[in-house]
Amino acid sequence: MATELGCRSCHHSPLQVVLSLGKMPLANALLTADQLAEPEPAFPLDLAWCPRCTLVQITETVPPETLFRDYVYFSSYSDTMVRHAGELATRLTRERRLGPASLVLEIASNDGYLLQHYVAAGVPVLGIEPARNVAQVATERGIRTVCEFFGERLAGDLRARYGPADVVHAHNVLAHVADLESVVRGIGLILRDDGVAVIEVPYLRDLVERCEFDTIYHEHLCYFSVTALDRLFRQHRLTLSEVERIPIHRGSLRLSVVRKGENGDSVRRLLAEEAAWGVDSETPVLKFARRVEQLKVSLLEMLESLRRSGKAIAAYGAAAKGSTLLNYLGIGRDVLDFVADRSPYKQGRYMPGVHVPIVPPSRLVEAMPDYVLLLTWNIAHEVLAQQAEYRRLGGRFILPVPSPQVV
């Protein structure tokens, strides 16, 4: 099925729709008790492929002001994310000899989980975070933060005020931006001539090969291959110099983007691998769509069988991916007793669409459900370690992707 909407990167039209997940509520629009009786906005969630530049993307654009001005995701509540950020900041500080005269800028800096490591090393930082509530937390932690959406115009203003940046970080944000071109041009504008932009994005091949359909939601507008990224940066006179595959989020790319240079060996190698994989064809994503439908059937059969046998089931992780999974499968309070989550900003609220209550993780041991559906499967090791007592008492977790598995 084709859509006349143009590609977010190269403007080609039509795009080829490869998967439709139906109408979905906004994944991070957690509800208060007072909102449960109110109508919830829902938007189509269709995944499409561009035959010109190969960018995989959703067709619907929800206004950024709606999605990001008040946000419930705080990166510091993931030990994995904080550790990952600290290791990267330490490495870049050493390799690029950053010091008091340097500037590190992060786009969508959240609560300062990354920039705090540079501050501790004596390196000046500037965070750009559009969510007012999250930016306030970062500021209170001593992270200099501008509460705005990043783009070309803001980049020009920031360069005039603070000077160019030695390092620009953009972690798990490029997929979120409605005006992709403005953000990429802004990166080129704010970056020092010999600086580097370090960008992390979930990798399309991992999403497809591991059937990670629940990472598709309205905040994630784009799903990147190295091929699509290389073509995007070239359009704006930037160079993808190096790329590495990293395990964070169960499969991501870490990109090094510079103003001058050429593709390094790592980029050329992955471009060749993607060509052999079929990146210039819709075949891989069409196969993925069929696997998503099969996964839905098998997971529902498992959960329904457990309920019929009298087992109590809860879930863990009130994350956006959990919202996609629960709403696509139609799993609500008839199946799940509650969703546990570490973040106090989420506790006391309800999952969008399905209205399952969100509670502290301590409820797992208190209630001892027989099974817990792990919605944040991307940090499975972290969660399983944190919930060792629940597991010791006989509780079991269900990992939903790439196929249902009990651990």
Tens-place pLDDT, residues 156-190:
999 999 999 999 999 989 998 889 999 999 999 99
CB 159 within 8 A of CB 126: no
Which CATH number belongs to the domain containing residue 393 in this structure? 3.40.50.720
pLDDT of residue 3: 62
CB 288 within 8 A of CB 211: yes
342 and 248 in a single domain? The answer is no
220 and 308 in a single domain? The answer is no
The total number of structural domains in the chain stands at 2
Q: Is residue 247 part of a domain?
A: yes
What value does the CA radius of gyration of the chain take, rounded to a whole number of Å? 21
Last residue of a domain, one of 211, 245, 280: 280
Which residues, including other chains, have CB under 8 Å from residue 14's CB and lie 6 or more apart?
A: 2, 3, 4, 5
**How many alpha carbons fall within 13 Å on the CB side of residue 407?**
17
pLDDT tens for the 407 residues of the chain, in order: 556 579 999 999 999 999 999 999 999 899 999 999 999 999 999 999 999 999 999 999 988 777 765 655 566 667 777 888 889 999 999 999 999 999 999 999 988 889 999 999 999 999 999 888 889 999 999 999 999 999 999 999 999 999 999 999 999 899 988 899 999 999 999 999 999 999 999 999 999 999 999 999 998 999 999 999 999 999 999 999 999 999 877 789 999 999 988 999 999 999 999 999 999 999 999 999 999 999 999 999 999 999 999 999 999 999 999 999 999 999 999 999 999 999 998 999 999 999 999 999 999 999 999 999 999 998 899 999 999 999 999 999 999 999 999 99
Q: Cα(117)–Cα(18) distance, rounded to whole angstroms?
A: 41
CB 121 within 8 A of CB 103: no
- Burial class (CB within 10 angstroms; exposed 0-12, middle 13-18, buried 19+) of 370: middle
296 and 271 in a single domain? The answer is no
Task: Supply the range of the domain harboring residue 137.
Answer: 75-280
pLDDT of residue 77: 65
250 and 345 in a single domain? The answer is no
300 and 244 in a single domain? The answer is no
**Taking the model in full, what pTM does it have?**
0.88
Q: What string of H, E and C letters represents the secondary structure of the chain?
A: CEECCCCCCCCCCCEEEEEEEEEEECCCCCECHHHCCCCCCEEEEEEEECCCCCCEEECCCCCHHHHHCCCCCCHHHCHHHHHHHHHHHHHHHHHCCCCCCCCEEEECCCCCCCHHHHHHCCCCEEEECCCHHHHHHHHHCCCCEECCCCCHHHHHHHHHHHCCEEEEEEECCHHHCCCHHHHHHHHHHHEEEEEEEEEEEEEHHHHHHCCCHHHCCCCCCEEECHHHHHHHHHHCCCEEEEEEEECHHHCEEEEEEECCCCCCHHHHHHHHHHHHHCCCCCHHHHHHHHHHHHHHHHHHHHHHHHHHCCCCEEEECCCHHHHHHHHHHCCCCCCCCCEECCCCCCCCCECCCCCCEEECCHHHHHHCCCEEEECCHHHHHHHHHHCHHHHHCCCEEEECCCCCEEC
Q: Cα(137)–Cα(162) distance, rounded to whole angstroms?
A: 22
Q: Is residue 4 part of a domain?
A: no
115 and 175 in a single domain? The answer is yes
131 and 276 in a single domain? The answer is yes
Question: Strand 252-258 and strand 371-374: pairing?
Answer: unpaired
pLDDT of residue 68: 62
Q: Is residue 50 part of a domain?
A: no
238 and 101 in a single domain? The answer is yes
306 and 224 in a single domain? The answer is no
Q: Cα(188)–Cα(196) distance, rounded to whole angstroms?
A: 10
230 and 327 in a single domain? The answer is no
